[in-house]
């Protein structure tokens, strides 16, 4: 299959596939083809964008294997099925059928027919066990099949029927629990009716959401839910964004502002130009991330599942010893009917999904179970200063020209170059030029962004550089010593400095005020109270500015004039010391460190590559949401630990009773399946915010 790489950072690559839009193909076939490549962690195909997002671990060899795997996918794939099988209905039918045979059979059916019906009903369970053995694996399916076969072998068809019925009831309740969590997730982010009012000239036309494309105009009125991500082109309205950001009060939206699918118009009317629709909307990506959370399992989940599978052969050994020592096939069968893996495999991913849904309600997108565990364990937080601890909207307080250049020239041309790059400092320069009415024509050449240093371009044939002191003085070799006193006067007050040089001389500086966020002090106090041992601030600013901000926020450790590679080195060094590191940043130059950290956190106002690289995204942009994310993660891990204790305790008790002959196989199956369902329901506690959680150890 042909493809093009449209975005790539270490460990993640997004491809656009050469696939015809009609007929719609089955994306799961593409995902399966790539998922089998060694090193691949997550594969997600978007039918609307015809793109494939791949997360992987490893080096360039793994990357090459992945791309080779994509290229090997056939160009012709089966069309997407228009109707998904209703697994819940199928399992409900199996329960009703077995229940009818077990309860009504003795009244209406002769013994031979009842026996045949029992064996027929149990056959799918037995076949699953046979298939597992054919794959040379000894799983819980083999245990179940063995227990039923033992009962049939003893001629005890009533016990075989009871076991079969209870297993089917357990399977149905498990699927019902999963479906319940899916419905809760769907209702949380439901965009309303699956249609939109499309504007065509003077006419409004109701169309299916599947027909809406980027660039279309849609209208939403009072009481309606916004069905797309887009930019308001006309009208004003109060929009309730609680489902996306957790904000309790509606927000005024007007021309030029962004709105998102799943939010509701409380009052007013909006005409929206569509940016994203269907699977490409932010809300769809949130739902997809939560549904795919099992692909990024927490280490605790993987270890528990591995342990549960290893226990299965010992169940057979214990059952065999019981038979040899007691001569009782009933006791041996009772042991076979109890396993640990079923509840562990169901309860742990449900806890993770429930926690992620709970976090999403608060405007926190956690992209996988492993990040929930790492967030709970994190003992070092590395925080970028600009746009993270400080406000996302810094402002220009002064422009100082040198060497005969005018203040107006510096500000006009700095804004002209900076407007090409979405960063908070660049926005401050552009906004100040706009406030002073300085129009700037595009007279420069194509600007070049030099990561963590600045921007270089040519203006009327002369080289223009804008950026940090390191970029201007060390990389470009330009003398700035004559301006040292002026610069020091500003930096001692905590201001940041943007340097502008033309050819081989310093043309001027732009003085930036970057005040700390209002919630930064409270966030840091709560972070330390939660048990975080070290907090380290990183910044590209000079030592004086870094020290000033660190003192304001009572941060003991900080590193000034730091570049992206040094941020990554620091994160890797801390991990090498055995620390669990969380990195918080929002800029392009933060993305390598975000990818390297155990947990990377970014804010909604951050650069696109930072939002892509992070593992946790704060949709409200409030730092205290990190504390919410940490609390939710710790609660989820405590619940997983509690469930594991319950599972081991209850099932070990049942095995002991079976060994002593104090419980029949049928009662053993009933109690085991009942305990499994109760534990899985306990896993959904994160969805009930008011519930008290066990303490995380």
Task: Give the number of residues written for the chain.
Answer: 697
Whether residue 342 has pLDDT greater than 70: no
Of 89-98, 278-287, 490-499, 688-697, the range with the highest mean pLDDT is 490-499
pLDDT computed for residue 585 by the predictor: 87
Mean pLDDT confidence for 103-132: 78
Q: What is the pLDDT of residues 38-76, one digit of tens each?
A: 778 777 776 656 778 887 877 777 888 888 888 877 766
Q: What is the pLDDT of residues 180-194, one digit of tens each?
A: 655 555 555 554 446
**CA separation for the pair 479, 403 (Å, rounded):** 12
Q: What is the pLDDT of residues 240-262, one digit of tens each?
A: 775 555 454 677 888 888 888 87
Q: Which of 169-183, 321-335, 383-397 has the lowest mean pLDDT?
A: 169-183
pLDDT computed for residue 428 by the predictor: 86
Whether residue 351 has pLDDT greater than 90: no
Task: Round the average pLDDT of the chain to a whole number and report it.
Answer: 78
Domains of the chain by residue range: 3-71, 217-280, 395-513
Q: Could you tell me the two tokens for 494?
A: 């905590």
pLDDT computed for residue 684 by the predictor: 76
Q: Which of 668, 650, 648 is nearest to 331 (CA)?
A: 668
Mean pLDDT confidence for 129-137: 81
Q: How many Cα atoms sit within 13 Å of 559 on the Cβ side?
A: 15
- Name the residue with tokens 């990377």: 600
Whether residue 282 has pLDDT greater than 80: no
pTM of this structure: 0.59
- Chain centroid offset of residue 225 CA: 24
Fold match between domain 3-71 and domain 395-513: no
Whether residue 589 has pLDDT greater than 50: yes
**CA separation for the pair 244, 223 (Å, rounded):** 17
Whether residue 81 has pLDDT greater than 60: no
User: For the chain, how big is the Rg over CA atoms in Å?
Assistant: 31
**43 or 176, greater pLDDT:** 43
Mean pLDDT confidence for 101-124: 75
Bridge partner list, 504:
none
CATH number 3.40.1110.10 is the correct assignment for the domain at 395-513:
yes
Distances (CA, A) of 610 to 44, 157, 595: 19, 62, 9
CATH number 3.30.565.10 is the correct assignment for the domain at 3-71:
no
Whether residue 499 has pLDDT greater than 90: yes
Longest alpha-carbon distance in the chain:
108
**CA separation for the pair 405, 675 (Å, rounded):** 79
Mean pLDDT confidence for 435-450: 70
409: CB partners within 8 A, 6+ apart: 401, 507
Mean pLDDT confidence for 442-467: 75
pLDDT computed for residue 583 by the predictor: 93
Angle at the Cα of 648 from the Cα atoms of 644 and 653, rounded to 5 degrees: 150
Angle at the Cα of 37 from the Cα atoms of 34 and 39, rounded to 5 degrees: 115
pLDDT computed for residue 474 by the predictor: 82
pLDDT computed for residue 294 by the predictor: 47
pLDDT computed for residue 83 by the predictor: 40
Of 48-62, 313-327, 577-591, the range with the highest mean pLDDT is 577-591
Whether residue 554 has pLDDT greater than 70: yes
Bridge partner list, 382:
536, 583
270 φ, ψ (degrees, to nearest 5): -130, 140
- Fold for 217-280, please state it: 2.70.150
Whether residue 324 has pLDDT greater than 90: no
As a three-state string, the secondary structure of 496-548 is EEEEEEECCEEEEEEEEECCECCCHHHHHHHHHHCCCCEEEEECCCCHHHHHH
**CA separation for the pair 408, 397 (Å, rounded):** 14
Scanning 514-664, the segments in alpha helix (DSSP H) are 520-529, 543-552, 564-576, 591-596, 608-613, 625-660
Q: What is the pLDDT of residues 502-512, one digit of tens each?
A: 988 999 999 98
Whether residue 645 has pLDDT greater than 90: no
Provide the 8-state DSSP code for 261.
T
The interaxial angle of helices 299-326 and 625-660, nearest 10 deg, is: 10
Q: Which of 529, 527, 498, 532 is nearest to 512 (CA)?
A: 498
pLDDT computed for residue 192 by the predictor: 47
Whether residue 86 has pLDDT greater than 70: no
Of 120-124, 156-160, 337-341, 572-576, the range with the highest mean pLDDT is 572-576
Whether residue 637 has pLDDT greater than 70: yes
pLDDT computed for residue 85 by the predictor: 45
526 confidence band (pLDDT: 50, 70, 90): very high
pLDDT computed for residue 276 by the predictor: 84
227 confidence band (pLDDT: 50, 70, 90): confident
Q: Could you tell me the two tokens for 36?
A: 């089998």
Q: What is the pLDDT of residues 367-380, one digit of tens each?
A: 777 888 899 999 99
22 confidence band (pLDDT: 50, 70, 90): low
**H helix or E strand, kind and range, residue 557:** strand 557-559
CB 146 within 8 A of CB 129: yes
**CA separation for the pair 530, 495 (Å, rounded):** 32
CB 501 within 8 A of CB 507: yes
9 confidence band (pLDDT: 50, 70, 90): confident
**CA separation for the pair 261, 283 (Å, rounded):** 6
**427 or 696, greater pLDDT:** 427
């Amino acid at each position: 299959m042909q493809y093009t790489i449209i975005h790539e950072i270490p460990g993640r690559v997004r491809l656009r596939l050469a696939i015809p839009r009609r007929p719609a193909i089955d994306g799961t076939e593409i995902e399966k083809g790539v998922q089998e490549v060694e090193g691949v962690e997550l594969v997600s195909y978007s039918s609307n964008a015809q793109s494939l997002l791949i997360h992987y671990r490893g080096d360039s060899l793994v990357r090459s294997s992945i791309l080779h795997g994509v290229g090997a996918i056939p160009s012709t794939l089966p069309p997407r099925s228009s109707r998904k099988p209703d697994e819940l209905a199928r399992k409900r039918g199996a329960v009703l059928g077995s229940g009818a045979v077990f309860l009504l059979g003795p009244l209406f059916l002769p013994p031979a027919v009842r026996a045949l019906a029992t064996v027929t009903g149990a056959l799918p369970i037995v076949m699953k066990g046979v298939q597992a053995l054919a794959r040379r694996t000894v799983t819980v399916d083999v245990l179940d099949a063995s227990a039923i076969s033992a009962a049939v072998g003893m001629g005890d068809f009533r016990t075989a029927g009871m076991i079969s019925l209870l297993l089917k009831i357990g399977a149905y309740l498990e699927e019902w629990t999963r479906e319940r969590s899916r419905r809760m997730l769907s209702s949380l982010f439901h965009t309303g009716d699956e249609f939109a009012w499309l504007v065509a000239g003077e006419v409004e036309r109701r169309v299916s959401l599947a027909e809406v494309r980027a660039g279309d105009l849609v209208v939403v009125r009072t009481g309606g839910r916004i069905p797309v991500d887009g930019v308001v082109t006309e009208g004003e309205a109060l929009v309730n964004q609680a489902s996306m950001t957790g904000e309790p009060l509606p927000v005024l939206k007007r021309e030029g502002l962004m709105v998102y699918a799943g939010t509701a118009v409380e009052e007013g009317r909006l005409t929206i130009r569509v940016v994203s629709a269907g699977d490409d909307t932010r809300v769809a990506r949130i739902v997809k991330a939560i549904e795919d959370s099992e692909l990024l399992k927490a280490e605790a989940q993987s270890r528990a599942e591995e342990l549960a599978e290893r226990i299965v052969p010992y169940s057979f050994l214990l059952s065999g010893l019981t038979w040899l020592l007691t001569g009782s096939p009933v006791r041996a069968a009772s042991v076979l009917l109890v396993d640990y893996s079923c509840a562990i495999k169901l309860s742990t991913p449900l806890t993770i999904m429930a926690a992620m849904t709970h976090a999403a309600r608060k405007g926190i997108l956690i992209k996988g179970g492993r990040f929930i565990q790492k967030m709970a364990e994190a003992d070092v937080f590395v925080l970028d200063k600009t746009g993270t601890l400080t406000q996302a909207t810094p402002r220009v307080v002064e422009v100082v020209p040198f060497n005969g250049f005018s203040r107006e020239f510096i500000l006009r041309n700095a804004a002209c170059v900076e407007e090409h790059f979405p960063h908070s400092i660049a926005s401050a320069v552009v906004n100040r030029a706009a406030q002073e009415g300085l129009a700037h024509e595009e007279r420069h050449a194509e600007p070049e962004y030099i990561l963590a240093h600045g921007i270089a371009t040519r203006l009327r044939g002369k080289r223009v550089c804008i950026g940090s002191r390191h970029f201007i003085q060390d990389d470009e070799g330009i003398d700035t010593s004559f301006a040292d006193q002026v610069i020091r006067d500003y930096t001692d007050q905590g201001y940041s400095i943007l340097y502008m040089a033309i050819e081989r001389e310093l043309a001027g500086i732009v003085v930036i005020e970057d005040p700390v966020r209002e919630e930064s002090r409270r966030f840091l106090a709560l972070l330390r109270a939660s048990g975080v041992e070290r907090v380290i601030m990183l910044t590209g600013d000079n030592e004086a500015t870094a020290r000033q901000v660190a003192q304001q926020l009572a941060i003991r450790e900080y590193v000034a004039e730091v570049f992206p590679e040094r941020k990554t080195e620091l994160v890797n060094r801390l991990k090498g010391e055995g620390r669990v590191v969380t990195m918080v940043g929002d800029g392009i130059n933060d993305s390598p460190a975000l990818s390297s950290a155990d947990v990377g956190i970014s804010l909604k106002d951050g650069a696109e590559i930072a939002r892509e690289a992070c593992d946790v995204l704060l949709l409200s942009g409030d730092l205290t949401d990190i504390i919410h994310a940490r609390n939710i993660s710790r609660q989820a891990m405590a619940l997983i630990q509690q469930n594991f204790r319950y599972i081991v305790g209850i099932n070990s008790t049942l095995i002991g009773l079976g060994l002593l002959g104090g419980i029949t196989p049928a009662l053993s199956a009933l109690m085991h399946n009942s305990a499994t369902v109760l534990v899985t329901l306990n896993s959904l506690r994160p969805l009930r915010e008011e519930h008290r959680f066990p303490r995380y150890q």
